[in-house]
Amino acid sequence: MTRYAQGRAPARVQAISLQSQARNRFIETFSLLLAAAFVLMAALLIAPKARAQSPTDVLTYLTTDRFPDTERALNEIGTSGLATAPQIVEALAANRLLFDAAARKLYFADESGALFDAATGAPAAGISPDDLKRVRLNNAVRRSLNAARGALTLMSPDPARRRAAAEAVFKSRDASALPLVESALEKESTPAIRKKLEEARAAIIAADASAPEARRLESLETLKERGDQDALGTLATIAAASEGRVKTSAEAGVAAIQSRLAMWRNVQNVWYGLSLGSVLLLAAIGLAITFGVMGVINMAHGEMVMLGAYTTFVVQEWARTNHPELMNYSLFIAIPLAFLVTGAVGIFIERVVIRFLYGRPLETLLATFGISLILQQAVRTIFGANNREVSAPAFMSGSFDFGALSIGYGRMWIIVFAMAVFAALLFVLRATSFGLRMRAVTQNRRMASSMGIDTNRIDALAFGLGSGIAGMAGVALSQIDNVSPNLGQSYIIDSFMVVVFGGVGNLWGTLLGALTLGVANKFLEPVAGAVLGKILLLVFIILFIQKRPRGLFALKGRAVEA
Amino acid sequence: MNPATDRLIDTRGYIFLAVLSAAAVLVPILTLVIPDESAFAMPPYLVALFGKYLCFALLAVALDLVWGYCGILSLGHGAFFALGGYAMGMYLMRQIGTRGVYAHPVLPDFMVFLNWKELPVAWWGFQSFPYAMAMVLLIPGLLAFIFGWLAFRSRVTGVYLSIITQAMTYALMLAFFRNDMGFGGNNGLTDFKDLLGFNVQATETRVALFVASCIALGGGYLVARAVVTSKFGKVVIAIRDAESRTRFLGYRVETYKLAVFVLSAMMAGLAGALYVPQVGIINPGEFSPANSIEAVIWVAVGGRGTLVGAALGAFMVNWGKTFFTGALPEYWLFALGGLFVLVTLFMPKGVIGLIDQYKVRRASKKPTAEG
């Protein structure tokens, strides 16, 4: 019931990157410093480690069948310059790295089982895998293995993989990866990946107790600028493990990032709230029309939303089988079609049932509830009770970063869509003759009738319009919610709350009501929990109705008591 | 209207009470005295089933009192029913004692399972039957009082009232689904053992509960009837027909409405309390808005504003539900939905209204018959 809040792909605040001029200047000076310090670094970090003399040494280490040697080989394979290093590491990860203990030769097998010489990468003919032993792994080796994999992908030609590798190094803070990061930085030309690499380097240096204090402090600044959850974790660990100025600086960094993240959390709450609010708006706006114009409580409104969602499903199924090239545009076919289908169903219901019940709102409520049961069962009989899969077109999947916020295209387009529908509806009501007639009937039915407006026709069309909008809402909801016969039920009470809160017969009230409730819901959720937050809102609305029985924006004048 | 409406028990009422009394006498005989092999013997499951219908009928009478006579369409009466049920369920849970899975002397199983150490305050006193029975009436009554006091005082009427009553039961449903509430969460309360020392599963207890339900329904009917035939009831009906006019005549409309609403909520609570031991479970699903609306259709089918009709409607619709869900489960929602539409369109006065119409038509054919 509270499912609409979470999209199909729960968006998560991801890594953020702040680009600023100050930052770029910093990078330049840093690079100079770096060049100067490189020799020193080499002395400090690289020299104490017994470096492999040549690529073949790495291979030899892997044939001793001892875990410490394997680990050592992995630590050095990245800088060894060995051409086959990626294959070796991957083969080890897949348990396909074999060695000949007597000849001290290393082989790797590919997925089909064919053997290759690890030193040259050439196919190894005439050697049976049965004569070879497998290079074993334990947890310590696996850790080095992962670091080595990360390090090797730093050089990968694929930017996405380089980026992921830089991120992996950042998280591991593995000091042995530093030389690799340095060399990758020299070659890297994509600014965003450079930044990732610099952050990775900063994380390694800042966490390294043996690095000079000045450099550590600088690195801490870099981490602070990064300012996301991962940087926070790194800084907190460093603050706990070090002393003196490094500790104070790291702690200051932690505090800065925390306040920054708190700010972004609020921004995120507003954004999610707007997203939820626009969903509520889509579901409620049609209801506002039928209720506002005709005073009809349409309990089957949720089922109109559901029919719209199923229309999307049918359109996609049709496109999948007949015109796969249209799959990406299926929503553009579904939106008008859903409007027509549910609009027609709405007009049919109005003509067959509701028009006999005007002036008896409570009976209308019951009759439309009956219709909602019939529609639910009909859909269940035709499509089955299970959820139906509606896929998202390419332009609605994925996300982009805005500050510390990852904004999903799906949610963004739904907000845009909701606003577009709202604007279109406003246009219809304000600028068309149908809208004029409709408003006249809303304000004074009998007078409008005396002026020659066919109120019956307006009623039917208004009901069709409200239902059609519900259908379009269904198209949008099919993107973020499960398409099932119960889809409508989860929205009907919320939609009523929005309409009642915003005030009947006022579109702006509905807009404000929907957005307020959406944002309030998202701010209450972290404090009170999803369910309790919803209960609190319901209680709030129940109390609110006591104060303003006709909503935020009440209609004034004679229409009120009609 | 019917000329006999002013009498406490009119002809229709006599028939209704006679049927109830007959059921209260015959069912125990058919179940307990007549040997099982006999064709007339009534299996215990039927006793529980009819007992359940009686509880629904009492809920329908309660709803008819507010809707049929006061014009308040409550879409949240299921909440009062469920609250009464929970009060009874809490008493029954406390009676389990050490026979639960975890054999804790005080805490019900689900609390032990949630690793709770003490009994929540809300559960105190529920080991006592009189206290539990008082709560069965007081808790729904109190909720109705607070809710009604707020709503009627600010003149929330019509569909607005209906919608917020629906929101009320929906909010309660969400709340009771939470484990933290301390009422068994999702699973609700079940695995009852004893009621006043008698095994709830035993046929004798079931029969006793059936008879108790008959008495409660008859009593509820008489109370409702006493209310609507009194001077107080005349004002209530006046409020239904012309609320503003009644207010201008100097009556405190909200006080009358509140009194009827609270009384009705207590009756619904009693119905829930009798319902729970007969079905053996109470869970948050009872709060679902759909249940409350279904209760409204019972009243509409039987005929609103007739009390007897409400009880009749509850029987008919639930019998239909039992039949359909057994024989044609696919079609039950079609039938129920169709019922909503057809009754509101073609039978605004329900079955009782049809009977009245038929009587009038017969009387007009034979002018001498009734004078």
Q: What would the pLDDT profile of B237-261 be if each residue is shown by its tens digit?
A: 999 999 889 999 999 999 999 999 9
pTM confidence score: 0.74
Closest chain B C-alpha to A291 CA, distance in angstroms:
10
Mean pLDDT of B91-98: 83
Supply B130's token pair: 């009189």
d(CA A505, CA A441) in angstroms, rounded, equals 11
Supply A409's token pair: 């295209």
Confidence at B223, pLDDT banded by 50, 70, 90: very high
Tell me the residue ranges of DSSP E strands in A377-517: 399-402, 405-408
Report the run of H or E that residue A183 belongs to, with start and end. Answer: helix A178-187
Q: If you measure CA to CA, which chain B residue comes closest to A503?
A: B160
Alpha helix stretches (DSSP H) within chain B: 11-28, 44-70, 77-96, 109-113, 129-153, 158-177, 203-229, 231-241, 243-248, 253-279, 289-302, 308-327, 332-346, 350-365, 367-370
Q: Spell out the residues 6+ positions from residue A117 whose beta carbon is closer than 8 angstroms to its own.
A: A105, A106, A107, A123, A124
Q: How far is CA B304 from the centre of its chain?
A: 15
Mean pLDDT of B311-339: 87
The DSSP call for residue A43 is I
Supply A372's token pair: 């909602």
Give the pLDDT confidence score for residue B127 in this predicted structure. 83
d(CA A329, CA A555) in angstroms, rounded, equals 41
Helix axes A455-477, A244-294, angle to 10 degrees: 150
- Asked if A361 and B344 come within 8 Å (Cβ–Cβ), the reply is no
Q: Is the confidence at residue B51, as pLDDT, over 80?
A: yes
- Asked if B341 and A367 come within 8 Å (Cβ–Cβ), the reply is yes
d(CA B269, CA B62) in angstroms, rounded, equals 10
- The one-letter amino acid code at B153 reads R
d(CA B258, CA B251) in angstroms, rounded, equals 13
CB atoms within 10 A of CB B55: 28
- What mean pLDDT value characterizes chain A? 78
Closest chain A C-alpha to B296 CA, distance in angstroms:
8
Q: Is the confidence at residue A418, as pLDDT, over 70?
A: yes
Tens-place pLDDT, residues A366-393: 898 899 999 999 998 898 888 888 877 7
Mean pLDDT of A302-322: 90
Sign of the CA dihedral B228, B231, B234, B239? Answer: negative
Class of residue A154 by CB neighbours under 10 A (exposed 0-12, middle 13-18, buried 19+): buried
Q: If you measure CA to CA, which chain A residue comes closest to B337?
A: A370
- The one-letter amino acid code at A289 reads I
Supply B17's token pair: 């009470």
Could you tell me the end-to-end alpha-carbon distance of chain B, in angstroms, rounded to an integer?
17
Confidence at A45, pLDDT banded by 50, 70, 90: very low
d(CA A103, CA A101) in angstroms, rounded, equals 6
Edge-first strand order for the sheet with A97-100 is A115-117, A105-109, A97-100, A133-134
Confidence at A311, pLDDT banded by 50, 70, 90: very high
Give the pLDDT confidence score for residue A227 in this predicted structure. 74
- Cβ neighbours of B154 in A, within 8 Å: 545-547, 549
- Cβ neighbours of A531 in B, within 8 Å: 174-175, 177-178
Of all residues in chain B, what percent carry a pLDDT higher than 70? 97
Tens-place pLDDT, residues A293-310: 677 788 889 899 999 999
Supply B293's token pair: 């609306």
Could you tell me the end-to-end alpha-carbon distance of chain A, in angstroms, rounded to an integer?
34
Give the pLDDT confidence score for residue B81 in this predicted structure. 95
CB atoms within 10 A of CB A328: 15
For A182, list phi and psi in degrees, rounded to 5.
Answer: -60, -45
Q: If you measure CA to CA, which chain B residue comes closest to A496?
A: B163
Tens-place pLDDT, residues B193-205: 878 878 878 888 8
Give the pLDDT confidence score for residue A485 in this predicted structure. 86
| B346/A contact by beta carbon, under 8 A | no
Q: If you measure CA to CA, which chain A residue comes closest to B346?
A: A356
Range ranked top by mean pLDDT from A17-21, A62-66, B47-51, B102-106: B47-51
Tens-place pLDDT, residues A14-39: 333 444 455 555 555 655 555 555 54
Supply A179's token pair: 């030389």
Of all residues in chain A, what percent carry a pLDDT higher than 90? 9
d(CA A467, CA A305) in angstroms, rounded, equals 8
| B248/A contact by beta carbon, under 8 A | no
Helix axes B77-96, B289-302, angle to 10 degrees: 120
Tens-place pLDDT, residues A198-239: 888 888 887 777 777 777 777 778 877 777 777 777 777 777
Give the pLDDT confidence score for residue A247 in this predicted structure. 79
Q: Is the confidence at residue A195, as pLDDT, over 50?
A: yes
- Cβ neighbours of B150 in A, within 8 Å: 542-543, 546
Contact of A471 with A305, CB cutoff 8 Å: yes
Range ranked top by mean pLDDT from A155-169, A434-448, B49-63: B49-63
More confident position, A408 or A468: A468
CB atoms within 10 A of CB A395: 12
Closest chain A C-alpha to B342 CA, distance in angstroms:
8
Tens-place pLDDT, residues A328-373: 788 888 899 999 999 999 999 999 888 888 778 778 888 988 999 9
Give the pLDDT confidence score for residue A387 in this predicted structure. 82
Closest chain B C-alpha to A21 CA, distance in angstroms:
51
Q: How far is CA B7 from the centre of its chain?
A: 24
Give the pLDDT confidence score for residue A554 in this predicted structure. 61
β-bridge partners, A133: A99
d(CA A528, CA B205) in angstroms, rounded, equals 44
Class of residue A164 by CB neighbours under 10 A (exposed 0-12, middle 13-18, buried 19+): middle
Confidence at B55, pLDDT banded by 50, 70, 90: very high
d(CA B45, CA B58) in angstroms, rounded, equals 20
Cβ-defined contacts of A236-241 (< 8 Å, 24+) = A237/A207, A238/A206, A238/A207, A241/A207, A241/A209
Q: How many residue pairs from chains A and B have C-beta atoms closer than 8 A?
A: 121
- Cβ neighbours of B73 in A, within 8 Å: 362, 365
Give the pLDDT confidence score for residue B256 in this predicted structure. 94
Q: If you measure CA to CA, which chain A residue comes closest to B331?
A: A377
Q: Is the confidence at residue A168, as pLDDT, over 80?
A: no
Which of A303, A373, A501 to probe by mutation at the B interface, max B CB count within 10 Å?
A373
Give the pLDDT confidence score for residue A423 in this predicted structure. 92
Contact of A147 with A155, CB cutoff 8 Å: no
